[in-house]
Amino acid sequence: MSEEIKVLINEKELDERLTEIANQINKDFASKEIILVGVLKGAVTFMVDLAKKLEPTIQFEFMDVSSYGNETISSGKITINKDLEVDIEGKNVILVEDIIDTGRTLSYLLDYLRSKNPANLKLCALLDKPSRRVVDVEVDYIGFTIPDTFIVGYGLDYKQNYRNIPYVGEVKL
């Protein structure tokens, strides 16, 4: 792989921000139980690191969705490849995502999860690119707002590579 990657958010900055988000969630959900629903595959790193800082009783669920379009612009059409394995009715659910770009994926997923009647549904995303938004989504917990550049690392990929890079990097395509 020959792409040049520049550090945008380093490991220390990630760790400190995750602690702040976790403190907020710990306050909001004190002595409650939470199901974290991670969106595969990009949210995995963020979800695992965040979960280690959470005090409520936590369960992990994952969903995998595809949106059809070209590689860099997601279309409105979304299919579920992997669904929830538990009933979330009456539960506290936090949807965990790596990045909000157009907002289409999350808007679809939030509607889908809401239709299952959870007691509480929040959205937590590590990164937000507001300049690219097509569909409005309300985010409850956000890590960093970033400019419109292509990001890899800390779970995010370029052609499925670079998910293991421990920092958030900007790739020069």
End-to-end CA distance of the chain: 12
Of residues 88 through 117, those in contact with ligand IMP by CB under 6 A are: 97-106
Cβ-based nearer residue to Mg ion, 2 or 72: 72
Under the binding rule (CB under 6 A), the answer on residue 170 touching ligand IMP is no
Helix, strand, coil % in the chain, rounded to nearest 5: 25, 35, 40
| Rounded CA separation 125/98 (Å) | 6
> Residues 49, 64, 101, 140: which is the catalytic one?
101
Q: Which helix (H) or strand (E) holds 151?
A: strand 151-152
Least Cα distance to 130 among 155, 104, 102 occurs for 102
For position 156 contacting ligand IMP by CB under 6 A, the verdict is yes
Interacting positions 13-32 with ligand IMP (CB under 6 A): none
Known catalytic residue: 101? yes
Contact status: 118 vs ligand IMP (CB under 6 A):
no
* Residues within the interface to ligand IMP (CB under 6 A): 42, 67, 74, 97-106, 150-151, 156
Residue positions annotated with a catalytic role: 101
* Residues within the interface to Mg ion (CB under 5 A): 42
